[in-house]
Amino acid sequence: MNRDTTVRSLVVEPGAAPERLDRVLARGFEDLSRARLQALARDGFVRCDDVEVRDPSRKVAGGSRIEVVVPAPAPAEPRGEALPLTVVHEDDDLIVIDKPAGLVVHPAAGHEDGTLVNRLIAHCGESLSGIGGVRRPGIVHRLDKDTSGLLVVAKNDLAHQGLSAQFADHGRSGALERAYLALVWGVPEPRAGTITASLARSRHNREKIAVVRDGEGRHAVTHYRVEGLPGGDGLTALVRCRLETGRTHQIRVHLSHRGHPLLGDPTYGAAFKTKAARLGEAPRAALTALGRQALHAAELGFLHPRTEERLRFESALPEDFSGLLAALEG
């Protein structure tokens, strides 16, 4: 264990009625805010009777022993780290990055260093926009850690405001364009269409996003088109998705909701893991090597916030994704 962390524990009063974990923690550790304790739980720093508990609302029974690992306070501002960046475009106002899978966009509990923001600070110096706050300077939108592809970052406040307005408009005016390539289980029918389903944080697992009834979550729209059937057996499909809205995990949840989760998705495709047994030896090995959801941000277009020039960028499939596609095609 890192010497800068501390482990604190408590035992719930034997015979006490079951109570929410976060309430028990807040009462037991009055020097830590309830929000901080909830965040520690969601990030995997809380164990109940030697079992990790990530849901702060989970009920704990009397007599339970709870341990909390409390990381040392982090500096208020991320530090720059001179680590590799794949720069697709850069000018005085913005920078477009081709993000590899596995790279976290901005610092958070458990990911204080090595993020895209740490790299941007080292690369751009003091020019990054401050609107996003010290934890995410210049960040206008984000990609999941294990999603690869294109991402634009503002280098000053004018660019941040202009780009944010385009993302808030969700491309309805035609200025913003985002397209992703995904490998999914099965073949969506119809082979081109629109998925409209509201999304909200799952009530049962706070790490997941779920489809909810209209009015209970955030409006979300994904346009999709089947691009190919690798292998020709209907077991998998290559799908191009265009976002009309940009909600957390949107493509992954929408396609899973339709019965076509992404290959390699450990969160929304776990029920389909047994389907891998139907793949040939080479595709199975390539899927294991991928080790993530098969999702890539392949296209990004927007108006330059200062010049109003139309900019459009494309990103080739990374090696792990293209290797899986080639193996599926045989």
**How many Cβ atoms from other residues are within 10 Å of residue 63's Cβ?**
12
Rounded Cα–Cα distance for residues 115 and 135 (Å): 11
**Cβ atoms of residues 255 and 184 within 8 Å:** yes
Annotated catalytic residue: which of 93, 98, 144, 146? 144
Strand intervals (E) in 155-247: 177-185, 192-196, 198-201, 209-212, 221-228, 236-243
Is 206 within 8 Å of 54 (Cβ atoms)?
Answer: yes
Contact yes or no for 40/75 (Cβ under 8 A): no
Give Cβ neighbours of residue 1 (< 8 Å, ≥ 6 apart): 7, 69
From residue 300, alpha-carbon distances to 123, 243, 307 in Å are 22, 11, 17
The candidate with the shortest Cα–Cα distance to 273, out of 145, 149, 185, is 185
Q: Catalytic residue at 144?
A: yes
CA dihedral 156, 158, 163, 166 (to 10 degrees): 170
Residue 210 identity = A
For strands 6-11 and 65-70, give the pairing.
antiparallel
CB 295 within 8 A of CB 252: yes
CB of 185 closer than 8 Å to CB of 141: no
CA 121/CA 32 separation, integer angstroms: 30
Q: Are 68 and 46 within 8 A, CB to CB?
A: yes
Q: Which residue has the tokens 């809205």?
A: 245
Give catalytic residue positions.
144
